[in-house]
Amino acid sequence: MTTQATDIRRGLALLALLAVLPTLSLGAGVMEPVERIEAAAHSYVQSLLPPGSAQTQITVLSLDRRLRLAHCDSALAAQLPPGSNLAARATVSVSCAGPTHWTIYVPVVVESRIPVLVLRHAVERDARLTAADVAVETRRTAGIATAYLSAASELAGRTVRRPLAVGTALSVEMFAADMVIHRGQQVTLVAGSPDLEIRASGRALMDAPAGARIQVQNLSSLTVVEGVVESADVVRVAL
């Protein structure tokens, strides 16, 4: 294990200790089973996985068995830090709401064994890849399956952000999506359902790729609305 990895583990252990210090006990009494805390973290991360994640493996890094927490009479609550998303390495807070209050931070590793696109050769920044540049291999990868490209068709509309070495498993974050709408461009605002649609002309206030949220000024009312880019000239807004 590298020095950096050792320091990270020690830091997580210290963080966990500081979080529960007020409720640690060295005396007799009913203690919270560490296994129950780890199971709560595992179940929570499992609930965050998208459909079709059968090949995703969740590993809860073992907590220090010397930690002694007062038994929680209520169900344990688990969550990620506010504003964060599930990543390959995450820290889940598991807490007891009462009558005894405590929180402990549990490190979790997420991996997937999936078919993934792998580079046949090294590529430079701003490269646009085709099926000839990649092969499909089944690999164990960090994070959830949706973070990786698995079919050559997914290369369309993407540009490589940085130089990549031969054999690299291609993830979404390695690419920049093409901008299909540009600032100042006239677009069509669409609202409603297929049975009853309302359309209006608008002007894009920023560049945006397909599927992104964008601000558009309605040319009739001059109000600024936010919508989702559906195509190179259509933005759908909520009523």
- Separation of alpha carbons 25 and 21, rounded Å: 9
- Separation of alpha carbons 20 and 63, rounded Å: 12
- The residue extents of the domains of the chain are 3-109, 112-177, 179-237
Decide: 191 and 239 in contact? Cβ < 8 Å. yes
pLDDT of residue 55: 82
Residues paired with residue 199 on neighbouring β-strands, in sequence order: 190
pLDDT of residue 11: 52
pLDDT tens across the length of the chain (239 residues) = 445 444 545 555 544 444 444 444 434 468 899 999 999 999 999 999 887 666 889 999 989 988 889 999 889 999 998 888 888 899 999 999 878 899 999 999 999 888 999 999 999 999 999 999 999 999 988 888 778 999 999 999 999 999 999 999 999 999 999 999 999 999 999 998 777 889 999 999 999 998 899 999 999 999 999 999 999 999 999 87
pLDDT of residue 126: 94
Give phi and psi for 147, each to the nearest 5.
-80, -5
The pTM (predicted TM-score) of the whole model is: 0.58
- Separation of alpha carbons 150 and 13, rounded Å: 36
Please name the CATH architecture into which domain 179-237 falls. Answer: Roll (2.30)
- Separation of alpha carbons 189 and 186, rounded Å: 10
pLDDT of residue 23: 46
Whether domain 112-177 has CATH 3.90.1210.10: yes
Number of residues that this document lists for the chain: 239
Decide: 35 and 83 in contact? Cβ < 8 Å. no
pLDDT of residue 186: 96
